A and B are shown apart, each in its own frame.
Chain A
Amino acid sequence: MSRRNQLLSSMDVDDDDEMPSMPSMRPSSYAQRTEDTGSSKPMIDIDELMAQDADTPECALAQLTRAWVAERGAPVLLEWQGDVVDEVMSQVEEQTKIVESLKSDDRSTDEEHFQLILVQTEVERAKYVITSYVRARLSKIEEFAQYIVANPSSHTNLSGIELSHARKFWRLVENHYQMSVLQGLPTAMRGLEDNQNGKSMMAEPDVDTAVFIRARRNVGEVQLPQQAIQLMKNDCYLVRYRDVSYLIASGGVEIV
């Protein structure tokens, strides 16, 4: 019973009149229910969340959402957020269990059922973020499989299972090329790593792609090839990924 009270008291649906008009991506509220038990803080919406200081600890789903946005914006594979994904997954699992047990409990009131629907919706959204995050990475891994297999330095950002997928996937594709094309050609032409006229056959991530960045804190002066910019908190710029990759890695700026 204590778990149930915890859950319901932390939801605070009643305090929140703007519920229906909330943006669909509302990452903090779900985890707030699980972590922030018993508080009466209203739900935070995405803008407030973005405005949060970098040093206040974020909940797992907010972190995952940020990783997901960054992953979809970045041309290269960013670091795999395994701990965050695990945390969100176990939260989803836990919430699903609680919801199930409350749903089948006859003593739940109508109002509680309504609150349950909100929790379930949030759980579905969390699942969506996980799925989209994993698949955004997967599509990059498959696109650059040959590059990943050939460059051990790129392995650090991949999870074990992603790396093994990259290897197996490239073996599969290579085998397909051999069977369908290359074995019909003269022996001298069967390579897959030609480097004709400076054009490599390997697909590499294009680090010169432009990305939108936003500073999460005051970064100060940043030297770009053409000019230096003063990067203050919440400033947005459109820059080459290559020029700011070190800032993204340090967490000073985020991709939007």
Chain B
Amino acid sequence: MSSAPATHNYTDTAHRLIHQSKRSILTSSLYNYDDASIREITRECRYLNGQINSAIDALSNLTEHSLLDTDKPSLAQLTILTLSAQRNKRCLLAYHHHRLSKLSTLYWQSGAALAHLLNEHNGSGIRQLISPHELDYLRSYASLITQFKSPFLDVVDISSTSLEPPKDLHISVRVVRDAGLIETHGGPVHFKIGQRFMVARSDVERLLVQGYLEEVE
């Protein structure tokens, strides 16, 4: 990397990332992992770091006194370079942080069903949208949550329930996607698309969360 493009200000790409995150929050949807921008920003950081180092080298043979007196432009340049580099880093981290929390949220929303989230969420799953590292993260996160909830499992599965207080034991549901044969307290039930059932909420909580069934008022 010899120099940054002329029409491009430092940290422009980083700001684009932040706008993406903002858009993702406003539309509450997950976008593709922006690998190209990440690479570009990282490259810019390394370039800036080189510039900073050579600026420091050039200034280091001056004493503090003469530095303040004679070389204000170089000092100002150094400040701008440093701030840009730091801003890039913070933007990168903010982007990744936002994505991680989005992924965790999606994980909980899908009833802690990782395979379902990756492959079938909203039709095609989120596997195409995330980076390999994010996939690793989700897998480890899922195993952490499994560990965390195990002491409660005898009584409640803290990941299966939607966070709505239950009103009735039984609910009326409509099947919106074939769910196959499901074991319930009243015996096995075959859920076929289009059918309606009156079932115990606790039996089908997971199917509701994952979008196989829809509650009918």
Residues of A at the B interface (CB closer than 8 Å) are 24-25, 89, 92-93, 117, 120-121, 124-125, 127-128, 130-132, 134-135, 138, 142, 161, 165, 168-169, 172-173, 176-177, 179-181, 184-186, 188-189, 192, 194, 196, 201
User: What is the bound-complex CA distance between A65 and B120, given in angstroms?
Assistant: 36
Q: Contact: A130 with B148, CB < 8 Å? A: no
- Minimal beta-carbon separation of B85 from chain A (angstroms): 7
Q: Contact: B42 with A184, CB < 8 Å? A: yes
- Minimal beta-carbon separation of A119 from chain B (angstroms): 10
Query: What class of interface size applies to chain B in its complex with A?
Result: 35 or more
Known: A24-B165, A135-B108. 12 other contacts (CB 8 A): A89-B154, A92-B156, A130-B155, A161-B148, A168-B144, A176-B96, A176-B134, A181-B92, A184-B45, A184-B46, A189-B85, A201-B90
Q: Which of B39, B45, B169 contacts A124 (CB 8 A)?
A: B169
User: What is the bound-complex CA distance between A243 and B140, given in angstroms?
Assistant: 39
- Minimal beta-carbon separation of B42 from chain A (angstroms): 4
Contacts of A131 in B (CB 8 A): 156, 158, 161, 163
A-contacting residues, B108-156, CB 8 Å: 108, 131, 133-134, 136-137, 140-141, 144, 147-148, 151-152, 154-156
A-contacting residues, B1-58, CB 8 Å: 38-39, 42, 45-46, 49
User: What is the bound-complex CA distance between A227 and B37, given in angstroms?
Assistant: 52
Q: Which of B104, B144, B161 contacts A127 (CB 8 A)?
A: B161
Q: Contact: A135 with B163, CB < 8 Å? A: yes
Contacts of A168 in B (CB 8 A): 144
- Minimal beta-carbon separation of B186 from chain A (angstroms): 11
Q: Contact: B93 with A181, CB < 8 Å? A: yes
Q: Contact: B155 with A127, CB < 8 Å? A: yes
Task: Report B166-180 CB contacts with A as 1/0, cut-off 8 Å.
Answer: 111100000000000
